[in-house]
Amino acid sequence: MMTIEEQVNEGIKNAMKAREKVRLEAFRNIKKVILEAKTRPGAGDQIDDAECIRIIQKLAKQSTDAAEIYKQQGRMDLYEEECGQLEVLNSFLPKQMSDAELTETLKAIIASIGATSPKDMGKVMGVATKQLAGKAEGKAISAKVKELLQ
pLDDT per residue over 23-47, tens digit each? 999 999 999 998 988 888 876 777 8
What pLDDT score does 45 carry? 73
Fold of 99-149: Arc Repressor Mutant, subunit A (1.10.10)
Q: What is the pLDDT of residue 28?
A: 94
Q: Half-sphere exposure (CA, 13 Å, Cβ side) for 104?
A: 5
Percent of the chain with pLDDT over 90: 37
Write out residues in the chain with pLDDT < 50, as ranges. none
Look at residue 59 in the predicted model and tell me its pLDDT: 92
Q: How far apart are CA 23 and CA 86, in angstroms?
A: 9
Q: How far apart are CA 135 and CA 6, in angstroms?
A: 23
Q: Which of 11, 14, 16 is nearest to 52 (CA)?
A: 11
Count Cβ atoms within 10 A of the Cβ of residue 71 and give its class: 0-12 exposed, 13-18 middle, 19 or more buried. middle
Fold agreement between 4-90 and 99-149: no
Say which residues have a Cβ less than 8 Å from residue 19's Cβ, sequence separation at least 6.
Answer: none
Q: Where are the alpha helices (DSSP H) in the chain?
A: 4-18, 21-39, 49-72, 76-90, 99-113, 121-131, 138-149
- Quote the pLDDT of residue 133: 74
* CATH class of the domain comprising 4-90: mainly alpha
Q: Domain-by-domain residue ranges, the chain?
A: 4-90, 99-149
Task: Check residue 11 and give its pLDDT.
Answer: 93
